Amino acid sequence: MINFNVNLQGEVAIVTGAGGLGAAIIKGLIRNGAFVIVGDIKLDKIKKEIGEDNFYKDKISFLEIDTSDFYQVTEMINKTIETYGKVDILINTVGILRESSILETSKDEWNKTLHVNLDSVFNLCKGVMLYMVRQKKGKIVNFTSIAGQRGSSLSVHYGSSKAGIIGFTMSLAKEVGCYGINVNAIAPGIIRSDMSKKKITTTTEKYLNQIPLHRFGEPEDVVGMVLLLVSPAGDYITGQIININGGMG
């Protein structure tokens, strides 16, 4: 656990995606005082990991939702407002990656990847915006990828969705900065999680040689930057795509 402390006492955060990176971020937010509402299509793992832990359980609520579905997201945000009266922070980590060549990628797979990765970000950001505008305050962090910046083989669908998140983030930051809302994105390189497991085990040396720090990232490696961005230390940072990749690329 990396000790990076900020003051998020009383802040209400929505985190979508409770996989490798999402789970580490959720713990970091709670350790620093925030209440967290977690939205994921599969919650068993995160519930087992921290939902039963006395330290975390009073500061977290779970909603099983498909974030690519606009109406399920609207319901989640309505419940958040009913329960907590506000939403200060939104972290979008939901993502899917099924590597395949363009010849093997079906139109359905293309649509699904764009829908889950990019529409989810739209659904959540649109959903919280009214409340953040009224509050004149809000911090949003989206998760893009090095694949959306430099491309990655076997990933035209994934890379396109992640490039879309970059354009979305920079555009939204320009639009809502006047309301005191900061919108940034983090672009990880290769971080250990279920998503990267196959890539890491099948091509370890190839990728390690491209990483100056010569190791894969751990989920905790992204937490400090998320905490900085959502805390007062991040008040003058917006529209940025922040690379966390060990120097890769």
Ligand X SMILES: NC(=O)c1ccc[n+]([C@@H]2O[C@H](COP(=O)([O-])OP(=O)(O)OC[C@H]3O[C@@H](n4cnc5c(N)ncnc54)[C@H](O)[C@@H]3O)[C@@H](O)[C@H]2O)c1
Q: Which residues bind ligand X (CB under 6 A)?
A: 17-22, 40-42, 66-68, 93-96, 116, 143, 145, 188, 190-191, 193-196
Q: What's the min distance (Å) between Cβ of 7 and ligand X?
A: 26
Q: What's the min distance (Å) between Cβ of 67 and ligand X?
A: 4
Question: CA 46, CA 67: separation in Å to the nearest integer?
Answer: 17
Q: Which runs of E-coded beta strand occur in the chain? A: 12-16, 35-40, 60-64, 89-92, 138-143, 181-188, 241-244
Q: What's the min distance (Å) between Cβ of 46 and ligand X?
A: 7
Q: Whose Cβ is closer to ligand X: residue 63's or residue 228's? A: 63
Q: What angle do CA 5, 19, 208 make, to 5 degrees?
A: 85
Polymer length of the chain: 249
Is 84 annotated as catalytic?
no
Q: How far does the chain reach from its first CA to its final CA, in angstroms?
A: 27
Q: Whose Cβ is closer to ligand X: residue 132's or residue 191's? A: 191
Q: Whose Cβ is closer to ligand X: residue 95's or residue 138's? A: 95
For ligand X, the nearest residue by Cβ is: 19
Token pair belonging to 193: 């999680």
Choosing from 158, 179, 207, 236, the catalytic residue is 158
Catalytic residues: 158
